[in-house]
Chain A
Amino acid sequence: MLWDRLKSFFGGGPRNPSGPLPQPALPGGVRSGARSQSAQRQTSLRTSRGLEEFFHHIREQSGLTILDLGGASQENVSFITNLGHRIYSENFLRILEEVFGLSDTVDQSNPGRIEYFLQQALDYQEGQFDGVLIWDSLEYLAPPLLAAVTDRLRKIARPDGYMLAFFHSDDKQEAVPLYAFRIQSVNTLELVRQGMHRPPQLFNNRSLEKLFGRFESVKFFLTREQLREVIVKT
């Protein structure tokens, strides 16, 4: 029992049946820590209605400014810039690890550290972004930091902008997969699985509505991979 817990926490998720794949150069520091050495790269393609909805709103225009919190990846940069938009890359989880450590959720309630983190990760002007790709970054935040981050996101996104966030929907899971999200098309994502992580909290529709209560609107897409996709209008 204890071994299973440790195994799941330190990235011992289900093994790829096809055998070990080449160790990737991981995009995020959090995802490239000691745990990921034992983690194996597993990729899968999935249809994303949330992504489709996100691009539906930004595709008709050009010259928009998009913030990608998943770090810089060739696929995302290519796709966004080919649409004629400007992309900002921010490796949110890497900064989270640098400031707090991945599993240290206790200190995520320290106001001084929260402010420092916001300066490091989300130090942008108000209304600077037309869209924000949050991916699953918010799942790794304890409630005080989460509240501060969502508040900052609301400020740096312009009114009528859109944000895309993912949340695991299975409340019974002790650990959830770590993913890197690579855009393949307007409605297709490549998920690069890089181990497992135990999030500080899991969300249901009600808690998400509460989390984004100050935003203009929230729209959910429940998928077969137990990932809840959320489109938030600012």
Chain B
Amino acid sequence: MWNKRRDEEQPQPFSPPVTPAPQAPAQIQPKKETTAVSGIPVGRFEQDSKVGGTATIGKAVKIVGQIHSREDLFVDGDLEGTVEALEHKLTIGPNGTLHATVKAREVVVLGTIQGNVEAADKMEIRKDARLVGDIRTARIVIEDGAYFKGSIDIVKPEPAKAATKPQPQAASAAPTPAAAGADTKR
């Protein structure tokens, strides 16, 4: 009986390979089996695919119009119009100049913005940044040395978040700087 099973298994090595078929390229270039398509190191590719990547508008680029981004966006050039990255982070680089209405999940300003900004999650105005316009955001960080002219509205987080974290109301009742609405950063 034991020998019968052994006899049945024996022919298998002689049958054509079934599972290795997709790995045929790997047999040719076994070292590149995970990187053959993109050429990006495995770790970096996995990290980027999780984050979603960052699109960049270089400092020699000028755009007039509307931008809708479904990935993080870094703007170091000139931009006029509107920018929307509702689920993503928008960074205005030190050379970036926006004359635009901005809506994003998170906005970080190192350059210049002239226009209203809506950052659903967080807004950062870094040192040497310049922002003229009205801000609506849940949290804001303003570094010393930043220039800001306009109004700041702190909007309450979305209901789902508010349900899990009822702290903001308590913080507004007993205000302490940087407790709820804004971060303290120097």
Residues of the A chain whose Cβ atoms lie less than 8 Å from the Cβ of B186 = 74
Check A156 for interface membership: any CB of B closer than 8 A: no
Task: Please determine whether A78 and B147 come into contact, CB atoms closer than 8 angstroms.
Answer: no
Interface: B153 (CB within 8 A)? yes
Counting CB contacts under 8 A, is B184 at the interface? yes
A163 within 8 A of B: no
Q: Which of B143, B149, B150, B179 meets A82, CB within 8 Å?
A: B179
In the bound complex, how far is the Cα of B184 from the Cα of A51, in angstroms? 21
Question: Would you call B67 an interface residue if the criterion is a C-beta within 8 Å of the partner chain's C-beta atoms?
Answer: no
Please classify how large the interface on chain B is, using the bins under 10, 10 to 19, 20 to 34, 35 or more: 20 to 34
> What sequence of 0s and 1s flags, for each residue 120-133 of chain B, a beta carbon within 8 Å of any chain A beta carbon?
00000101100000
By a CB distance below 8 angstroms, the chain A residues around B144 are 24-27, 73-74
Taking a contact as CB atoms under 8 Å apart, the answer to whether B140 and A25 are in contact is: no
Contact with B along A65-81 (1 / 0, CB 8 A): 10000011111011101
User: Are B177 and A78 in contact, with the CB atoms below 8 A?
Assistant: yes
Interface residues on A, range: 20 to 34
Q: A27-46 CB contact bits vs B (8 Å, 1 = yes)?
A: 10100100000000000000
Q: Does A53 contact B (CB under 8 A)?
A: no
A190: min CB distance to chain B, Å: 10
Q: Which residues of chain B are near A79, meaning CB under 8 Å?
A: 175, 177
Q: Which residues of B100-138 are within 8 A (CB) of A?
A: 125, 127-128
Shortest distance between the CB of B33 and any CB in chain A (Å): 51
CA distance A139 to B162 in the complex (A): 45
- Say whether B182 faces chain A, with CB atoms less than 8 Å apart: yes
Asked if A88 is at the interface (CB within 8 A of a chain B CB), the reply is yes
Say whether B182 contacts A86, CB under 8 Å.
no
In Å, the complex CA distance between A83 and B172 comes to: 5
Interface residue? B152 (CB, 8 A): yes
Instruction: Find A72's partner among B148, B172, B183 (CB 8 Å cutoff).
Output: B148
- Known contacts A86-B151, A94-B147: A77-B142 contact under CB 8 Å: yes
- Tell whether A87 pairs with B151 under 8 Å between CB atoms, given A78-B177, A81-B181, A82-B175: yes
Contact A183 B177 (CB under 8 A): yes
Give the distance to chain A from B155, nearest Cβ to Cβ, in Å.
10
With A74-B184, A77-B140 known to touch, is A88 a contact of B151 (CB < 8 Å)? yes
Chain B residues with CB under 8 Å of A81's CB are: 140, 152-154, 181-182
B57 interface residue (CB < 8 Å to A): no
A75 to B143, CA, bound (A): 10
Verify if A90 is at the interface (C-beta below 8 Å from B): yes
A84 contacts partner chain B, Cβ-Cβ < 8 Å: yes
Task: Name A26's contact: one of B145, B181, B183 (CB within 8 Å).
Answer: B145
Give every chain B residue within 8 A of A86 (Cβ-Cβ): 151-153
A90 to B: closest C-beta gap in Å: 6
The residues of B that contact A87 with a CB separation of less than 8 Å are 151-152
Q: How far is the CB of A28 from chain B (nearest CB, A)?
A: 9
Which residues, 48 to 76 on A, are CB-close (under 8 Å) to B?
62, 65, 71-75
Can you identify 16 A-B contacts, CB atoms within 8 angstroms? A24-B145, A26-B145, A73-B142, A74-B183, A74-B184, A79-B175, A81-B153, A82-B171, A82-B180, A82-B182, A83-B172, A87-B152, A88-B150, A88-B152, A89-B150, A91-B149
| Contact surface of A with B, Cβ cutoff 8 Å | 24-27, 29, 32, 62, 65, 71-75, 77-79, 81-84, 86-91, 94, 183-185
